[in-house]
Each structure stands twice: as C-alpha cells, then as structure tokens.
C-alpha cells in the first residue's frame, strides 16, 4: 500500500488500542489539528484508522441571558413588583411589562380580568428559571431560552482517532519515514539515487491545467489545405498586388466600361491612376467592335482614363489575366488565393473583403468538359462529393457555369463561378488556346467547415474560438454526399 509520508507519520504516533484527539496528535507530529484530521480521513479511506466523530452541543448565555440570570427573568421581576392585584394600566408602566405580562399569564401566575391583573398564587419556579441556572442539563427550559434568545447553542465536533487492526499490523511492520520526491533533481537522475527514492504518485483524478498551444488560425488551415490540394494537382501559385488598374481588373476581362460593377457603389475606387500597358489598343478595339474576332464588341465608348483608374481588386482574375499575358504559351496551370474587395454593406454574410481562390488552366485542346472535371476533382478533395453544375453568367467567360455542392442540412449550395475565357479576353494577347477559369469564395467553405454563422468571426477573431477549435479536424465533417 502506498502511503504518503504524512500518513505514515500519523500511524507512527498512534499507539494500539488508544484513542487520540487531533490536538494531541498535532502536537506530537508538529502539524495542525486540521491536517491531522485530513490525514486521518485519508487513512480511514484505506481502512487503517478509525475516526470517531462526536458532535457536542454546549450552551452559553447571551448578554441578555446573563443579566436575567443575575436579576431574574422579566416575568419574575414583574410579578414581584406588586402585591395581590394591580390595574393593567399601572402594570404596563413597568419597563419589563412588554415581555413580562404575557409570560406571567402563560405560566398561570396571574389572571387578567376587567383591566385588573391578579396573582393566582401558583408561582412555582419555571423550567426556564431552572435552565437559566443550569444550562448544561438541557431539556424543555433550555430550548425555550434558546427561542427567547437568552441562550445560544454551540456545536463542536470532536474526533477520536485510533488504529484499526489493519493499521496496527502496518505499524508493527515498521514504516519508512523517508521524504517522498516530487520533481527529480539532476543529481538524483545522474547519480542513480532515483533507484531508492520514494517517488510521489500523482492522482489521475486531478484534472490537468488547460494550456493553449500556439497555432495557425483554423481559417488559414483551410486555406493551406486548399493550397496543398492545388499544388498536388500540379498548379503553380501566383501572387500579386491588392491594387490593380481598372484596365487589368475590368477592361482586360472584357467588362464594359458602363458595367454596373464598375460604378462607385460596388467597387472601391482609388484616386491613383496608372498608365495602361502597351497593347491596350487591342483591348480597346475588342470592346468597341470585337477586334479581329467574330465578336461584335460592346460598342459605345471606351475611354483610356477610365481604364487607368486604380481599384482594390474585385477578383484575383486580374492576376490570372496578367499571368497569361506574360505566359501566352501552353500549358499554364496556376492558382491564387488572395484577398478581394467589394463595396458591400457589412453584415453576417457580406463583407467588404474576403478571400477568393482562383485557378486557370490553359492548354491545347482543353474543353468545357475538362473545366467541369477540374471543379469536380477540387471540390471532391475538399470533401464535397456531391457536385452539380448550372448555367451561369460572367462577362469574361463563355460558357459560364455555377458549381454547386451538396451539404447535409442545407441542400445545394452555390460555390463560386467558372467558365472558359471568352475569345475577346485572350485574343488581344496572342493566347491561342482555351483558358479554363474558376473562382471560389473560400470563406463560404470555411463557414461550412467551421460551423460559423457569421463571416466576420473569421477576421475579427475571438481568441477563444482559435483556442477551442481543434487543429486537426476530419476533412469530411461538413461535407455532403452524392
């Protein structure tokens, strides 16, 4: 049996067949009576000592009680203040009359009739008076006095501690009183003394202190998982500026200059401008009349000044098109996960900035069917097995498609947009092969995966959310079925 040092010391001071009170033991052990009780309880739990618990009640007079013990109870004093009979009106002038009259009457010492108080002659010593003299002998008088607030009851628990037969057996065998070791020291470890040391045992029942490791944000973890997926699928990552010219953000993507997205209520415009790049004329012509393609273009006006104005990028497609311009030869497979901006009123499902994931594939002979293939593969790897495709519309893709994934409890959820770049987008830059492109609002995936109700929680971090969200979560948790 593993006993703590304190438990052993207690057994040591207990002689067989003797009962001890804690104070005596405490003096012997050089500790407090409370500690002795605590150790005794532990030993009692192991069946080595017997703890008798006695509750003693004592009574003490209150201040008022001691006064009456000297001078007599109010009813006795009142009774002695008159002879025979007295008008009630006179008796009430006595300072003790308020308590005394009722008590005299209750005890049958007086009768009250027609305003006169008259002694009955039955004036025996009451139980209260007896108790007042000897409070120790308990009884009815004592409890009456307690009720009247003249006595107070005090309870005292006394312990008597003795060895059980098992305890005696252990004591007989002798106990090693060497101190137990908590933390091992360097000397104990390298010197070998650990072999003989009593090592304190710790309780599994005591829960550990909660510590929070440093960690990557749960949302970033999802973004990293997406990056990893795309890298595994052979995509190269691209990165670029948050600030783009309207030319690269809109015009190069064949968004007409009077398109609603280009109005100040939808996009964050900046006062800064940057010159349009060489070759902008081909983009202008594409807008005006379709350039050298079978397109009619948008017609109307196309102004360089409008193309020069800077914006906070509304999509990362502005980076994709610039990458294509500098890499016009196939094959190209690139992706980007970056912050994009929309001038939206902020609420639980709309933010002015959020992450977008974008991927493009440019190669000889790639088709719309391949686009659907890449989408299905990516969503599948993100844990969304049920994927379907619906027609969509984006100014720079044709055909356009809106992928949807199936989420248990929500049904089909729209998951971004995709399409094949229009010829009007790639022709100005000599890109001769089809470009498959897709964009995904990744914060939506994060909300589904993390079970969030409010998009703002991703960015305006409650650190308890980070602390309490497990680092490793099975990927298929929020996903749907086919």
Partner 1 sequence: MAVITLYYRYLERLVGVDKETILARLPMLGSDIERVEEDHVDVEFFPSRPDLFSVEGVARAMKGFLGVEKGLPAYHVKPSGISFSVDPGLASIRPYLGTAVIRGISLDEEAILSLMGLQEALHWALGRGRSKVAIGIHDLDHVTPPFRYIAEERTRSFVPLDYDREMTMEEILDTHPKGRAYADIVKDFPRFPLIVDACNQVLSFPPIINGELTRVTGESRNLLLDTTGTDERAVMTAVNILCTALADAGGQIESVEVDGGFIPTLAPTTRLVSSRECSSLLGVDFTPEELSALLERMRYSAEPVSDDKVRVTIPCYRADIMHDWDIFEDAAIAFGYENFRAEISPTFTIGKAHTVMTIASAVRSLGSGLGYQEVIPFTLTSERVMHSKMQRPLPAGTLTVLHPINEENTMVRTGILPLLIETLQFNRHRELPQRLFAVGDVVQDLTTYQKASFVSLHPAADFSEAYAVADALCRELSIPYTAGESGDQAFIQGRRGNLLVNGSVAGTFGEIHPAVLNAFELEHPVAAVEIDLRVVPGYPSGLGTP
Span 412-441, contacts to partner 1 by CB under 8 A = 414, 420, 422-424, 434, 436
In the complex with partner 1, which residue's Cβ is closer, 22 or 291? 291
Least distance from partner 1 to the Cβ atom of residue 283, Å = 15
Q: Is residue 399 near partner 1 by the rule CB under 8 A? A: yes
Q: Is residue 295 near partner 1 by the rule CB under 8 A? A: yes
In the complex with partner 1, which residue's Cβ is closer, 180 or 398? 398
CA-closest candidate to residue 435, choices 337, 317, 338, 336: 317
In the complex with partner 1, which residue's Cβ is closer, 124 or 463? 463
Query: Are the C-beta atoms of 66 and 31 separated by less than 8 Å?
Result: no
Parallel/antiparallel/unpaired status of strands 417-421 and 236-237: unpaired
In the complex with partner 1, which residue's Cβ is closer, 466 or 475? 466
Biggest CA–CA distance in the chain, Å, is 137
Q: Which of 79, 161, 252, 361 binds partner 1 (CB under 8 A)?
A: 361
Least distance from partner 1 to the Cβ atom of residue 350, Å = 11
Query: Are the C-beta atoms of 379 and 409 separated by less than 8 Å?
Result: no
CA-closest candidate to residue 130, choices 141, 140, 122: 141
Q: Which of 166, 293, 323, 327 binds partner 1 (CB under 8 A)?
A: 293
Q: Is residue 353 near partner 1 by the rule CB under 8 A? A: yes
Angle formed by the axes of helices 218-232 and 368-381, nearest 10°: 140
The pattern of x and - marking residues 307 through 336 that bind partner 1 according to CB under 8 A reads: ---x-x-----------------xxxx---
The two structure tokens encoding residue 144: 């009456």
Burial class (CB in 10 A: 0-12, 13-18, 19+), 84: exposed
In the complex with partner 1, which residue's Cβ is closer, 170 or 230? 230
In the complex with partner 1, which residue's Cβ is closer, 96 or 312? 312
Least distance from partner 1 to the Cβ atom of residue 228, Å = 9
**Alpha-carbon span 288 to 392, nearest angstrom:** 25
Q: Which of 15, 64, 187, 272 binds partner 1 (CB under 8 A)?
A: 272
Binding region for partner 1 (CB under 8 A) out of 45-53, 89-97, 191-199, 297-305: 297-305
- Which positions from 208 through 267 interact with partner 1, judged by CB under 8 A? 212-217, 219-220, 224, 227, 230-245, 248, 258, 260, 264-265
- Which positions from 163 through 202 interact with partner 1, judged by CB under 8 A? none
Least distance from partner 1 to the Cβ atom of residue 254, Å = 9
Neighbours of 225 (CB within 10 A): 16
- Which positions from 24 through 63 interact with partner 1, judged by CB under 8 A? none
The CA-atom distances, in angstroms, between 85 and each of 75, 77, 79, 95, 109 are 15, 15, 10, 18, 12
Least distance from partner 1 to the Cβ atom of residue 50, Å = 45
Map residue 280 onto helix, strand or coil. helix
Query: Are the C-beta atoms of 279 and 429 separated by less than 8 Å?
Result: yes
- Which positions from 443 through 482 interact with partner 1, judged by CB under 8 A? 458-464, 466-467
Least distance from partner 1 to the Cβ atom of residue 214, Å = 4
Neighbours of 78 (CB within 10 A): 25
User: Tokens 């969509």 — which residue?
Assistant: 392
User: Tokens 């312990």 — which residue?
Assistant: 159
- Which positions from 366 through 395 interact with partner 1, judged by CB under 8 A? 366-370, 372-377, 388-393, 395
Buried/exposed 444-463: b ≥16 CB within 10 Å, e otherwise: bbbbbbbebeebebbeeeee
Q: Which of 111, 296, 348, 349 binds partner 1 (CB under 8 A)?
A: 296
Least distance from partner 1 to the Cβ atom of residue 422, Å = 7
**Alpha-carbon span 137 to 156, nearest angstrom:** 17
């Amino acid at each position: 049996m593993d006993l703590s040092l304190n438990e052993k010391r207690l057994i040591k001071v207990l002689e067989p067949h003797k009962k001890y009170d804690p104070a005596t033991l405490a003096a012997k052990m050089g500790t407090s009576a409370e500690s002795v009780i605590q150790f005794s309880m532990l030993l009692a739990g192991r069946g080595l000592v017997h703890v008798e618990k006695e509750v003693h009640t004592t009574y003490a007079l209150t201040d008022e009680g001691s006064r009456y013990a000297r001078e007599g109870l109010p009813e006795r004093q009142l009774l002695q203040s008159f002879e025979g009979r007295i008008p009630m009106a006179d008796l009430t002038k006595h300072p003790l009359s308020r308590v005394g009259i009722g008590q005299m009457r209750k005890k049958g010492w007086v009768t009250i009739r027609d305003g006169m108080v008259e002694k009955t002659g039955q004036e025996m010593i009451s139980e209260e008076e007896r108790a007042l003299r000897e409070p120790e002998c308990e009884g009815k008088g004592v409890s009456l006095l307690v009720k009247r607030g003249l006595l107070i009851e005090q309870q005292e628990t006394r312990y008597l501690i003795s060895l059980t037969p098992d305890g005696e057996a252990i004591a007989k065998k002798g106990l090693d009183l060497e101190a137990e070791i908590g933390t091992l020291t360097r000397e104990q470890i390298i010197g070998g003394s650990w072999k003989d040391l009593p090592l304190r045992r710790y309780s599994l029942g005591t829960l550990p202190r909660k510590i929070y490791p440093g960690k990557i944000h749960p949302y970033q973890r999802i973004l990293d998982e997406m990056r990893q997926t795309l890298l595994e699928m052979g995509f190269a990552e691209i990165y670029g500026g948050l600030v783009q010219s309207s030319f690269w953000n809109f015009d190069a993507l064949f968004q007409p200059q009077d398109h609603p997205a280009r109005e100040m209520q939808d996009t964050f415009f900046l006062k800064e401008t940057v010159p349009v790049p060489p070759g902008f004329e081909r983009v202008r012509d594409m807008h005006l009349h379709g350039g050298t393609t079978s397109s009619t273009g948008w017609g109307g006006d196309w102004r360089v000044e409008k193309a020069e104005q800077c914006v906070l990028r509304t999509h990362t497609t502005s980076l994709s098109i610039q990458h294509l311009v500098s890499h016009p030869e196939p094959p190209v497979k690139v992706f980007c996960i970056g912050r994009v901006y929309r001038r939206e009123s902020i609420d639980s499902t709309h933010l002015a900035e959020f992450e977008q994931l974008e991927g493009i594939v440019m190669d000889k002979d790639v088709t719309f069917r391949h686009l659907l293939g890449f989408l299905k593969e990516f969503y599948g790897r993100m844990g969304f097995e049920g994927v379907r495709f619906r027609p969509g519309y984006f100014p720079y893709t044709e055909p356009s498609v809106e992928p949807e994934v199936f989420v248990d409890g929500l049904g089909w959820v729209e998951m971004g947009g995709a399409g094949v770049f229009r010829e009007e987008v790639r022709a100005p830059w000599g890109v001769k092969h089809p470009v498959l492109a897709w964009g995904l609002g990744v914060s939506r995936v994060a909300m589904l995966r993390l079970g969030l109700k409010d998009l703002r929680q991703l960015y305006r971090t409650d650190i308890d959310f980070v602390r309490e969200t497990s680092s490793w979560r099975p990927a298929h948790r929020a996903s749907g079925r086919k």
